[in-house]
């Protein structure tokens, strides 16, 4: 299914409001009347403004690479470091809803640092079961109660409720309304992925334990560590840059490693580390985290000796790994849906 992210005209008021909020009061601003591709007239200059959703690198690239002329200003919820870098390199002005802005249009120059908020809006009813079901669907599992059973290991009731929630939220629709052959399909995969990302971001990141690595090659060292864990029946799954590089090579070097393991407490993480003779150390290059969802474990796969998380989970983790991570996330998404 080809993913798409069309610009929704209904958000133009939100985008223009963000631009107006960062412009000095001395600037003359007018609203055009019915003129196509002109959203504001600032000091006599017509501006075309486009909305880029949450403001990740992939969101911005979808706007810039849409085949349409580049907008004068790109607006997003919170512009990520990777998105800012991309827009700056392409010479496109930007604004986000935190109040951050870099605008250089003619004689108009605005540079502002917004107020970041650490609080995340809770997305109601995106339970662990819904996240697990969504992770499976994004990996190609059909959104039916029977098909999601082996992938998720969830009870029939949990699968039914999760699929029902996704349907009521407008992510799934029935191909056949009633009867034994009734089945749902994804309406817009990009919107489902965006909602999945938002749901994960709305939840606390939870526990983590950093441990030291000895060698210079973290990939080879992790494979050796993984073999020890396997002998002791310890489930583990890599994510982030090391996992992305195994399935969608882009990064030339990987210095730090993130791994999910089957532990729910800090004591459990320490026990897993000890089984592989790993020593906890602040700033260590290997970070251990509890599995965030059942599917992150059940749908992991082995690639060249590494256990790899499902691609949607890798994608989310890459979005929070700096500019290199965002670029790898965009590359991964392109490869998965090529």
pLDDT in tens, 200-237: 887 777 789 999 988 778 888 999 999 999 999 999 99
Least confident among 75-89, 113-127, 193-207, 314-328: 113-127
Domain contains 20: yes
DSSP 219-242: HHHHHHHHHHHHHTT--EEEEHHH
DSSP structure class, residue 182: -
Higher pLDDT, 252 or 238: 238
User: Is the model's pLDDT at 49 over the cut of 70?
Assistant: yes
User: Is the model's pLDDT at 133 over the cut of 80?
Assistant: yes
Domain contains 118: no
What CATH code is carried by the domain that includes residue 183? 1.10.10.10
Residue in the block written with tokens 């908020």: 117
201, 217, 232 - which closes a domain: 201
User: CA 256 → CA 219, 242, 309, 310, distances in Å?
Assistant: 9, 8, 16, 19
- Based on the fold, state whether residues 181 and 222 are members of the same structural domain: no
Q: The dihedral of CA 310, 313, 314, 315: what is its sign?
A: positive
Average pLDDT over residues 288-292: 93
- Based on the fold, state whether residues 81 and 147 are members of the same structural domain: no
- Based on the fold, state whether residues 18 and 106 are members of the same structural domain: yes
What CATH code is carried by the domain that includes residue 79? 3.40.1350
- Based on the fold, state whether residues 246 and 222 are members of the same structural domain: yes
Q: Whole-angstrom Cα distance, residue 233 to residue 81?
A: 39
User: Is the model's pLDDT at 5 over the cut of 50?
Assistant: no
Average pLDDT over residues 20-26: 82
- Based on the fold, state whether residues 145 and 30 are members of the same structural domain: no
The dihedrals phi and psi of 30, each to the nearest 5 degrees, come to -130, 150
Contact predicate 258/290, CB 8 Å: no
User: Is the model's pLDDT at 8 over the cut of 80?
Assistant: no
Higher pLDDT, 253 or 141: 141
Q: Whole-angstrom Cα distance, residue 126 to residue 169?
A: 11
Domain contains 4: no
User: Is the model's pLDDT at 179 over the cut of 50?
Assistant: no
Exposure string over 93-106, b if 16+ CB within 10 A, otherwise e: bbbbbbebbbbeee
- Based on the fold, state whether residues 155 and 92 are members of the same structural domain: no
196 lies in which domain range? 128-201
- Based on the fold, state whether residues 298 and 321 are members of the same structural domain: yes
Contact predicate 272/261, CB 8 Å: yes
Domain contains 123: no
Domain contains 121: no
Least confident among 19-23, 74-78, 99-103, 181-185: 181-185
Q: Whole-angstrom Cα distance, residue 298 to residue 301?
A: 9
- Based on the fold, state whether residues 223 and 318 are members of the same structural domain: yes
Specify the number of domains making up the chain.
Answer: 3
Q: The tokens of 164 are what?
A: 């029902």
Average pLDDT over residues 44-64: 87
- Based on the fold, state whether residues 251 and 318 are members of the same structural domain: yes
Domain contains 2: no
What CATH code is carried by the domain that includes residue 323? 3.30.460.40
Nearest Cα residue to 20 out of 10, 9, 11, 31: 31
- Based on the fold, state whether residues 82 and 133 are members of the same structural domain: no
Is the entire prediction scored with pTM above 0.85? no
Domain contains 117: no
pLDDT in tens, 78-99: 888 888 988 998 899 999 888 8
105 — pLDDT class (breaks 50, 70, 90): confident
């Amino acid at each position: 299914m080809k993913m798409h992210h069309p610009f929704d005209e209904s958000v133009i008021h939100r985008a223009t409001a963000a631009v107006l909020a960062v412009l000095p009061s001395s600037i003359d601003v007018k609203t055009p009347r019915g003129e196509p591709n002109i959203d504001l007239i600032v000091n006599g200059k017509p501006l075309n403004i486009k909305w880029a959703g949450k403001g990740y690198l992939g969101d911005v690239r979808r706007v810039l690479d849409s085949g349409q002329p580049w907008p004068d200003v790109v607006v997003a919820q919170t512009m990520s470091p990777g998105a800012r870098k991309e827009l700056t390199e392409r010479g496109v002005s930007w604004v986000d809803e935190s109040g951050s802005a870099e605008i250089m249009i003619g004689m108009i120059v605005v540079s502002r640092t917004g107020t970041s908020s650490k609080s995340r809006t809770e997305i109601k009813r995106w339970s662990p079961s819904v996240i697990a079901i969504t992770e499976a669907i994004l990996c190609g599992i059909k959104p039916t109660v029977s098909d999601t059973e082996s992938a998720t290991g969830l009870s029939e009731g949990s699968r039914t409720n999760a699929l029902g929630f996704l349907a009521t939220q407008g992510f799934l629709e029935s191909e056949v309304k009633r009867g034994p052959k009734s089945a749902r399909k994804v309406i817009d995969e990009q919107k489902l992925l965006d909602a999945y990302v938002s749901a994960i971001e709305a939840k606390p990141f939870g526990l983590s334990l950093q441990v030291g690595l000895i060698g210079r090659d973290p990939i080879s060292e992790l494979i050796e560590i993984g073999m020890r864990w396997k002998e002791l029946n310890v489930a583990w799954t890599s994510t982030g840059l090391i996992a992305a590089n195994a399935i969608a090579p882009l990064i030339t070097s990987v210095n730090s490693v993130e791994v999910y393991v089957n532990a729910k407490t800090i004591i459990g993480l320490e026990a897993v580390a000890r089984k592989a003779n790993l020593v906890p150390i602040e700033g260590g290059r290997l970070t251990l985290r509890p599995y965030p969802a059942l599917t992150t474990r059940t749908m992991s796969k082995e690639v060249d000796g590494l256990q790899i998380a499902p691609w949607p989970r890798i994608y989310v983790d890459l979005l929070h790994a700096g500019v290199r991570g965002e670029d790898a996330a965009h590359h991964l998404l392109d490869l998965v849906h090529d």
